[in-house]
Amino acid sequence: MLLRPLPLFLLLPLLAAAAAADLDAVVAADGAVVRVAADEPNLLEAAEGRVAAFVFAEGAFTQTIDAEAGVVYFRPLREQPRSGFVEVAYADGGRRRFALVIVPDPDQAARRVVLAAPAATAPAFAPAVSTGHVAALKEFLREFAALDPADLVPAADAAELAAGDIVLVPRGVLRRGGFVGERYRLLNHGATPYLIDEDDLVHGAGVLAVAAAEQAVPPQGATWVHVVRREAAE
């Protein structure tokens, strides 16, 4: 009797489960850019919950959801960055979507991507401060991002920041409640997608939060970036 090899979608869970303990682990919050192995299976799980859906463009990955374990095994089919979302189900019946940009990297070993627990993600963009201060900062950031450009003070003293093909153009400032919000237009003049690393956008003192409308900017594309700082004492 000729024994046929197991299909890849069946082998993926078996191989990845056996090697999970040895995988390079990374914790990912909502909106994270995550580098994964381009040529090996990767594992995705939730710190407090079960992965219920892995939604990316058709043809981007092979994927197998292990419903019993609440994890997904995936392998890139192409090396281009892909944006999508992962839906996590929690024991209390709640659900949450995590937006991710997954970047296949031929030099990266297989990875175990762990979606951060909800309690850990809310204040992650800010340093250790009181709950009330974090809430005020989040409210300011939401209000600031929604403001019409006409409601902002022109950024008279700010200059364009350029790094290679990436340019940050100041578009206005808002001062309110002890915070200073700076709005920028990020332009990608390059021929390849630009994956936003918020650490690259932090300049000067007192930065509390950096928020980008998109995590991946296409060639010749643009997006909005908002930076919030503590207002300096007079």
Q: What per-residue confidence (pLDDT) applies to 22?
A: 59
Joined tokens for residue 2: 């000729």
Query: Residue 154: is it exposed, middle or buried by C-beta count within 10 angstroms (0-12/13-18/19+)?
Result: exposed
Say which DSSP state 215 is in.
Answer: S
Q: To which H or E segment does residue 130 belong? A: none
- Report mean pLDDT in 10-residue bins for the chain, 234 residues: 35 41 77 88 91 85 86 89 86 86 88 78 37 66 74 66 80 84 87 72 67 78 83 64
